[in-house]
Amino acid sequence: MQVLNARKQAFRNKPYVTYLFLAIQIIIFVGMTFSGGSTNIHTLILFGAKYNPAIVNGEVWRLITPIFIHIGFTHLLVNSITLYYLGTQMEIIYGSLRFALIYLLSGLMGNIMSFAFSDAVSAGASTSLFGLFAAAIVLGRAYPHNYAIQQMARNFTVLIVLNFAVGFFSSAIDNFGHLGGALGGVLAALFIADPNVSRGQNKQRILALVIYFVSVIIFALTGFLRAGFALY
């Protein structure tokens, strides 16, 4: 019985959601390669990249699908390596369900902020990855006496600052997507916390949840309003 329980625990500790997300983006990239190429603008739009006119016309699923779409092999490779190393750590710490929610909610916030303030066609897991970086920093603040978590949080703080700095000097990078992803990651990490928390922390969770949804509504309205003004 002890051996069986140990095997069950080992199975649960595997980062299967990280592997699933990696598989999805690789399969989509292969499909794009054989459908016109991942750098072809028409192929990107066809497979679900963030494309503001389509979102305005009701294709709101484009606020999620860009997470799994990449523009060129280098883009896929860098984000896949980052997802593998970052995702395997964060999924084991948070658990598969909470990890998946943080990843997807970060990507959603990043894409909806990009929709609000950028007209460019965009895609990539970076929105979600910035969310994971930010969630790791939140984790560091929650466990100030855990050396391993503190070290991880410091490392990811450096990475997120460096990535924002690089993005600031590059017009090809969707900085609004990255900023929104980081914001989504912070808020998601705050309200998707351990259920065994104090009353004060429960208030913090509710506040983070409210801020998340209010932010999504504000960014969505901004995007639709900007699109409306562009028609005139």
Q: Which tokens hold the place of 197?
A: 């928390």
109 burial level (CB within 10 Å; 0-12, 13-18, 19+): buried
Rg (CA), the chain: 18
Catalytic residue among 106, 126, 128, 215: 126
Catalytic residue among 38, 70, 80, 178: 178
How many Å apart are CA 92 and CA 11, to the nearest integer? 11
Q: Which tokens hold the place of 223?
A: 């995007």
Name which of 172, 60, 180, 34 is nearest 114 in CA terms.
180
Q: Is 126 a catalytic residue?
A: yes
Q: Which residues are catalytic?
A: 126, 178
